[in-house]
Amino acid sequence: MKRKKRIKTIIMSSLTGLVVISFAFPFVWMLLASFKTQAQIMSPDEFLIFKPTGQNYVNVFNEYDFMKFIINSFIVAAGSTLGSLILGLPAAYAIARHRLQGLGLVILVARIIPGITFLIPWFIIFSQLGLVDSYLSLILSHMLVGLPFIIWVMISFFEGLPTEIEEAGLIDGCTPTQVFLRIVLPISGPGIITSSLLSFIFSWNNFMFSIILAGDKTKTLPVAVFNFMSYSEINWGALMASACVITLPVLIIALLAQRFIVSGLAAGAVKG
């Protein structure tokens, strides 16, 4: 019996190891390749042990002005997250407290509709307004992903807050607005962090809207990496370096805020 249990533990552990390796492998491969020369990538003998070079990163930043794209991506991601919070927090609160379920459903529909359905009309309208290749059009389009998400997560968060605190606030003479701003929001930190982080990541990663609505001046990282990919399709080292540059901030957020992100992704699920 004991032996059987030990065998079971060994099997489980090795399976777990296999799973971890499979899911981590592409990242390891990306990181290693980004420090290799073209010749080293070509040679299977130098898979793990090789003399690393930083040249790929130098190329990415010097020849291809990645700094500009990083700044663009940051402006758009921060702007769209901020905009979504400003519009989304009051809305989520009202929906949660006043049971505006119909409105909640409309927001859910936003999550279901294929984003590309919006892209053609936006492109036409933004073109006519001269707003293609502006931060405004990118921020607005990215808010389409961020806003419904923030509202959705925050509805369930606000619903989970005990109403007693708010009632106590009202009895103390606060107006409902003050209750929201001075009592509810300060204790909603975890929910706000969770939803903002994910909204930021969604915007940072967004490719489909950006490839059409961003131009030379506002090009974001995913578009830059994509252009770079077909431009120098054969220079794998530099490509992997650019992939590392774009993924790194997201991975850092994920590592530092693991708990928040898991709960955020699950929040969408719990409510269904």
Partner 1 sequence: MKRKMKRWMQGTLAAVLAVSMLSACGGGNDKPSQGVEGEGAAKPFQGKKLSIATANHPWGDAIKELIPQFEEETGMKVDVQSYFEDQLSQKLTVQFTSGSATPDVFMYSPLQHAKQFYNNGWLQPLDEYVTKNADYDFEDFSKASVSTNTIDGKIVGIPTITEQHILYYRKDLLEEANIAVPKTMDELLAAAKALHDPSKEMYGFSARGQRSALVSQISSFMYSEGGEFMRDGKAFLNSPESVKGMNTYATLLRDFGPPGVLNMSWPQAIGVFAQGKSAFFADVNSIYLNAADPEKSTISDQIGYAVFPAGDAGSQPFNIASWGIAMNAKAADKDAAWAFIEWATSKEIMLETQKLGNPGSRLSVWASPEGTVAFPKELAEVTMETQKGGVDHSLPQVNAVGEARDIIGSIVQRAITGEDIQAAADQANKEFQALIDNESGQ
Partner 2 sequence: MRTNWFDRNQKWIYTMPAVLFVLLMMVFPILYTFRISFYEWSMSSTTPPKWVGFDNYIALLSDARFWVTVKQTFIFTFGALIVQTVLGVAIAVLLHREFFGKNLVKTIFLLPMVATPVAMGLVWLLIYEPSIGAANTLLKMIGLSPQLWIASPSQVMPSLILMDVWMWTPMISLIVMAGLATLPTEPYEAADVDGASTWQKFWYVTLPLLRPTIIVAVMLRLIDVLKTFDIIYATTQGGPNMKSETLNIYGYTLGFQYFKLGMASTLLVIFFAIVMALTLLMIYVRKRLEVAS
* Binding partner of 170, given partner 2, partner 1, none, CB within 5-8 angstroms per partner class: none
111 sits near partner 2 (criterion: CB under 8 A) = yes
Supply the angle between the helices 221-231 and 236-256 in degrees, to the nearest 10.
Answer: 160
Number of Cβ within a 10 Å radius of residue 164: 8
* Separation of alpha carbons 138 and 253, rounded Å: 22
CB 231 within 8 A of CB 104: no
Amino acid at 5: K
Residue 28 site contact among partner 1, partner 2, none (CB < 5 to 8 Å, cut-off depends on kind): none
Partner interacting with residue 23 (select from partner 2, partner 1, none; CB below 5-8 Å by kind) = partner 2
Q: Does 255 bind partner 2 (CB under 8 A)?
A: yes
**HSE of 195 in the Cβ direction (CA atoms, 13 Å)?**
31
- Sole window of 24-32, 64-72, 159-167, 183-191 interacting with partner 2 (rule: CB under 8 A): 24-32
Q: Which is nearer to partner 2, 78 or 250 (CB)?
A: 250
Binding site for partner 1 (CB under 8 A): 75, 79, 82-83, 86, 123, 126-127, 130-137, 139, 175, 177-178, 181, 212, 215-218, 227, 230-234
Residues 120-129: contacts with CB within 8 Å, 24+ apart?
A: 122/209, 122/213, 123/212, 123/213, 126/213
Q: Cα separation of 134 and 236, whole Å?
A: 31
Does position 16 interact with partner 2 (CB under 8 A)? The reply is yes
- Which one of 42, 58, 71, 187 is in contact with partner 2 (CB under 8 A)? 42
CA dihedral 41, 46, 51, 54 (to 10 degrees): 20
Using the 8-state DSSP alphabet, how is residue 32 labeled?
H
Measure the CA angle with vertex 207, ends 203 and 209; round to 5°.
85
- Span 55-74, contacts to partner 2 by CB under 8 A: none
Distance, in Å, from the CA atom of 104 to the CA atom of 124, rounded to the nearest integer, reads 29
Q: Of partner 2, partner 1, none, which one sits near residue 103, judging by CB under 5 to 8 A according to partner kind? A: partner 2
Six-digit token pair at 20?
């971890």
Q: Which is nearer to partner 1, 79 or 169 (CB)?
A: 79
Query: Considering the rule CB under 8 A, would residue 196 count as an interface residue with partner 2?
Result: no
CB nearer to partner 1: give 9 or 127. Answer: 127
Q: Could you say which of partner 1, partner 2, none residue 91 binds, taking C-beta under 5 to 8 angstroms by partner kind? A: partner 2
Q: Does 231 bind partner 2 (CB under 8 A)?
A: no
